[in-house]
Amino acid sequence: MTEAKSKIKNAEFDEQDLYDEDEDTQKDKYLTFHLAGEDYGIDIEFVTEIIGIQKITEVPDMPQFIKGVINLRGKVIPVMDVRLRFKMEERPYDERTCIIVVDINSTAVGLVVDEVQEVANIPEDHVEPPPQVGRGESSRYLKGMGKMDDKVKILLNADKLLYEEELELLKKEAN
């Protein structure tokens, strides 16, 4: 094997190692945030970035929980108010309000939350299934309950925050 081919082969191997390592470092990691007095978490693997609240352009004929769209570095991104999605009371946005940009099935969506907290490590054995009390619509959003010391974080299923038809509607709006 020539030296050049050897270098290319090694570079590909090293890149794959980095990719595998990156996946491992994301396991059991959740971006935690505050919403209406409770602590929530979302798998870090879905999170693209966190930005401060900015001008949201309203789009007619959208579900109530879709506040509109933002222009993020030339890309139009639909924005969902998580409070409204969970049928909570709406509140005015302030300096602590953030937009968590997530990738759901290859679609960028902004999630408006009251306040971002931290990236927390919550091992699988510290996650319990969500309570089976009510089988309402909101139970589909829940992945489980993450135990951290004496606190409980409500862990969300990022890919279940939107129904397939809602996701398709947002894809159309973003394009």
Closest CA to 111 of 13, 32, 37, 15: 32
Burial class (CB in 10 A: 0-12, 13-18, 19+), 80: buried
Residue with tokens 């969506």: 109
Q: CATH code at 73?
A: 2.40.50.180
Q: Tell me: the pLDDT tens digits for 3-33?
A: 433 333 333 334 344 344 455 678 899 999 9
What digits encode the pLDDT tens for the residues 30-89? 999 999 999 999 999 999 999 999 999 998 888 899 999 999 999 999 999 999 999 999
Q: Are strands 47-52 and 151-156 parallel, antiparallel or unpaired?
A: unpaired
Query: 34 lies in a domain?
Result: yes
Q: Which residues are within 8 A (CB) of 26 and not within 5 positions of it... i.e. 6 or more apart?
A: 43, 44, 45
Residue at 51 is within a domain: yes
- Rounded to whole angstroms, how far apart are CA atoms 109 and 111? 6
pTM: 0.80
- Look up the domain containing 133 and give its range: 29-174
Q: For the chain, how many structural domains are there in total?
A: 1
